[in-house]
Structure 1
Amino acid sequence: MTHYHESAKEITNELANTLQNVNDEEVALLMKEISRADKVFFVGVGRVLLSLKSIAKRLAHLGVNTYVVGQITEPAITDKDLLIVGSGSGETAFPLIIAKKAKQHNARVAHVGANPESSMREFSDVFVRIPVSTKLNRPNEIPSIQPMTSLFEQSLLVLGDTLALMMIKEQDIDMKNLWEYHANLE
Structure 2
Amino acid sequence: MTNEYLKNSLSIIEECQMALEAVAEEQVQAYLTILEEADKVFFVGVGRVLLALKAIAKRYGHLGIKAVVVGEITEPAITDKDVLIVGSGSGETLFPLGIAGKAKQLGAKVVHIGSNPESSLSQYTDLFLRIPVESRAKKEDEIASRQPMTSLFEQSLLLFGDATAMMIIKQRDLDMEQLWEYHANLE
Helix, strand or coil at the partner of 1:40: strand
> 1:97 aligned to 2:98?
yes
* Partner Cα separation in structure 2 for residue 141 and residue 88 of structure 1: 11
Helix, strand or coil at the partner of 1:174: coil
Q: C-alpha deviations, 1:56-96, integer Å up to 9, x for none? A: 00000000001000000000000000000000000000000
Instruction: Name the counterpart of 1:106.
Output: 107
Q: Which amino acid aligns with 1:120?
A: L
Q: C-alpha deviations, 1:128-170, integer Å up to 9, x for none? A: 0000001121110000000000000000000000110000111
**RMSD of the alignment, in Å?**
0.8
5+ residue gaps, structure 1: none
* Partner Cα separation in structure 2 for residue 3 and residue 139 of structure 1: 29
Q: Which amino acid aligns with 1:154?
A: Q
Runs of 4+ in 1 over 4 A off after TM superposition: none
* Partner Cα separation in structure 2 for residue 18 and residue 44 of structure 1: 19
* Partner Cα separation in structure 2 for residue 133 and residue 59 of structure 1: 27
Matches within 5 A, 1:117-156: 117-156=118-157
* Partner Cα separation in structure 2 for residue 145 and residue 182 of structure 1: 36
- TM-score (normalised: structure 1): 0.98
Q: CA offset at residue 2 of structure 1?
A: 4.9
Helix, strand or coil at the partner of 2:129: strand
Instruction: Name the counterpart of 1:70.
Output: 71
5+ residue gaps, structure 2: none
* Partner Cα separation in structure 2 for residue 65 and residue 49 of structure 1: 17
Q: Which amino acid aligns with 1:53?
A: K
* Partner Cα separation in structure 2 for residue 96 and residue 5 of structure 1: 38
Q: Which amino acid aligns with 2:153?
A: F
* Partner Cα separation in structure 1 for residue 3 and residue 86 of structure 2: 36
Aligned residue-pair number: 186
* Partner Cα separation in structure 2 for residue 183 and residue 169 of structure 1: 22
* Partner Cα separation in structure 2 for residue 68 and residue 2 of structure 1: 39
Q: CA offset at residue 3 of structure 1?
A: 2.2
Q: Which amino acid aligns with 1:116?
A: P
